[in-house]
Amino acid sequence: MSKRMALDGQSLDRHVVRADSPFAKMLARADVRLDGDRPWDMRIRDPRAIDRILGYGNLGLGEAYMAGWVDIDRVDEFVVRVLRSGLSREVGRSPWLWWHALKARLFNCQTRDRCWEVGERHYDIGNDFYRDMLDPRMTYTCGFWGGGAETLAEAQEHKLDIICRKLDLKPGQRVLDIGCGWGSFMIYAAEHYGVECVGLTISKEQAALGRELAGDLPVEFRLMDYRDVDEPFDHVVSVGMFEHVGRHNYDEYMQVARRCLKPDGLFLLHTIGTNREGAPPDPWISKYIFPNGELPALQQVVDASEGRFVVEDMHNFGADYDRTLMAWYENFEQAWPLWRTSYGDTFGRMWKYYLQSCAGGFRARQIQLWQFVLSPSGTPGGYRRPV
């Protein structure tokens, strides 16, 4: 990836960056200073960054940061202030962004052919890289910091255990994991609850390492699109995969989960979500991190469930994702000197921006993390969330 980002026709005219400029005054409304000495202040290294940010919003800021045109020591704190001040709604008027939003509405960007792209571009970049960033179980989803968790490993074990308890897993049951990653849930559930698991992934690297990590446990990895599975399971779980499904496929996704779930089983859906229905996918995240991804709104999950499931429980612990992302960021920073030669500085700045900007989004409560428990026709006597 080039250190000079493609500018999509943006003017390269240079500007004089002044503390009393309109751009500086706009940032001041979010308590951000140009060339200030606070961690969330912005330093302009190349004046072209200003037009890029004003025209392309987060895409422009992310690319300017990757290219070294902008420096911000704590991107997470910068993002919190910008989102809470409402400044993000005043930038990003480029026609390209309108087309990006319209494309998500009109076209299915998560077809069977395109679903493999995120595996190749994101999850297959290197198992050892992810091993250095994640917890020992390689759990690449939000940890649960309730119950006194003090470390990333503890938070992830708490999350895995609460999923098992919400499903009321019993020895000998068979569980489908849609989007199993490296198998952290399946391995934990097999070890601690005596279940058998089948996991679906679109990442060759995840499947290969997952099989190695699972050893002789009754855990099966399948390199398979979720739309192709059709067999009965006692329970279905999907942790951090629904973000790759897209609005045009929510109904089919729920149909697949329903046809694979036995009548007395439970389906646990764990997904990041957005506060605003119809919001377009974030253009920077789509271009550089998760191609073809899209965050659902709460109503979209409920609408797709209608006629197929009863929503037994919904648990929001989105604030925990802030802490999880910052723990990943700390691990990344410690390991980065080992990976810098292999991946390059632009990749490093991209990854720092990804982890910190997402943490800021959760801290500002602009994005959420939901765990739904769904049943085919309602749990007799009512469902009770385990404590």
Residue 51 lies in a domain: yes
| Section 86-96 average pLDDT | 84
- Alpha helix segments (H runs only) across the chain: 22-28, 48-67, 75-85, 95-106, 117-118, 127-133, 152-167, 184-193, 204-214, 250-260, 283-288, 298-305, 319-343, 345-363
Instruction: Report yes or no on 311 lying in a domain.
Output: yes
Q: How many CA atoms lie within 13 A of 75 on its CB side?
A: 23
112-158 pLDDT, tens digit each? 889 899 999 999 999 999 999 999 999 999 999 987 899 999 999 99
In order of 28, 39, 73, the CA distances from 35 in angstroms are 12, 11, 11
Give the separation between CA 262 and CA 136, rounded to whole angstroms: 33
Distance CA 127, CA 138 (A): 9
Beta-ladder partners of 369: 272
Which 8-state DSSP code applies to residue 24?
Answer: H
> Exposed, middle or buried by CB within 10 Å (0-12, 13-18, 19+), for 123?
buried
- 201 with 143, same domain: the answer is yes
- Taking the chain, what is the end-to-end CA distance rounded to the nearest angstrom? 47
Residue 169 CA to residue 35 CA, distance in Å, equals: 55
pLDDT at position 100 = 81
Question: Do 89 and 195 fall into the same domain?
Answer: no
As a whole number of angstroms, the distance between CA 301 and CA 303 comes to: 6
Domain assignment present for residue 17? The answer is no
Boundary residue ending a domain (106, 141, 157): 106
The verdict on 171 and 279 lying in the same domain is yes
Tally the domains of the chain: 2
Contact between residue 296 and residue 246 where contact means Cβ atoms under 8 Å apart: no
Asked whether residue 351 is domain-assigned, the answer is: no
- Residues 102 and 177 both lie in one domain: no
Do 72 and 216 share a domain, yes or no?
A: no
Residue 19 or 295, more confident: 295
**123 to 47, 116, 175, 201, 326: CA distances (angstroms):** 34, 10, 23, 10, 19
Q: What is the pLDDT of residue 359?
A: 98
pLDDT in tens, 7-31: 443 433 444 466 678 899 999 999 9
Note down the domain range covering 81.
Answer: 22-106
Could you tell me if 36 and 181 lie in one domain? no
- Residue 306 to residue 251: CA distance in whole angstroms: 9
- Note whether 212 and 72 are same-domain residues: no
Q: Are residues 80 and 192 in the same domain?
A: no
Band of residue 97 on the pLDDT scale cut at 50, 70, 90: confident
Can you state the percent helix, strand and coil of the chain, rounding each to 5?
50, 15, 35
pLDDT of residue 265 exceeding 80, the answer is yes
Question: Last residue of a domain, which of 106, 135, 151?
Answer: 106
Q: Which residue has the tokens 């191609």?
A: 291
CATH number for the domain spanning 173: value is 3.40.50.150
Once rounded to an integer, what is the mean pLDDT over residues 271-285?
Answer: 93
Could you tell me if 293 and 157 lie in one domain?
yes
Tens of pLDDT along 31-88? Answer: 999 999 999 999 999 999 999 999 999 999 999 999 999 999 999 999 999 999 998 8
Residues forming the active site: 358
| Residue where a domain stops, chosen among 65, 87, 106 | 106
Provide mean pLDDT across the span 230-250.
97
Q: Is residue 339 part of a domain?
A: no
Whole-angstrom distance, CA of residue 118 vs CA of residue 211? 20
Pairing of β 233-239 and β 174-178 = parallel
C-alpha 35/C-alpha 216 separation (Å) is 56
- 358, part of any domain: no
- Distance from C-alpha of 165 to C-alpha of 2, rounded to nearest angstrom: 47
298 domain residue, yes or no = yes
Question: What's residue 14's pLDDT?
Answer: 43
CB distance 369 to 296 below 8 Å: no
* Pair 69, 142 in one domain: no
Assess whether 205 and 307 both reside in one domain.
yes
- Exposure string over 127-138, b if 16+ CB within 10 A, otherwise e: bebbeebbbebb
- Residue 90 counted as domain residue: yes
Query: Does 148 share its domain with 219?
Result: yes
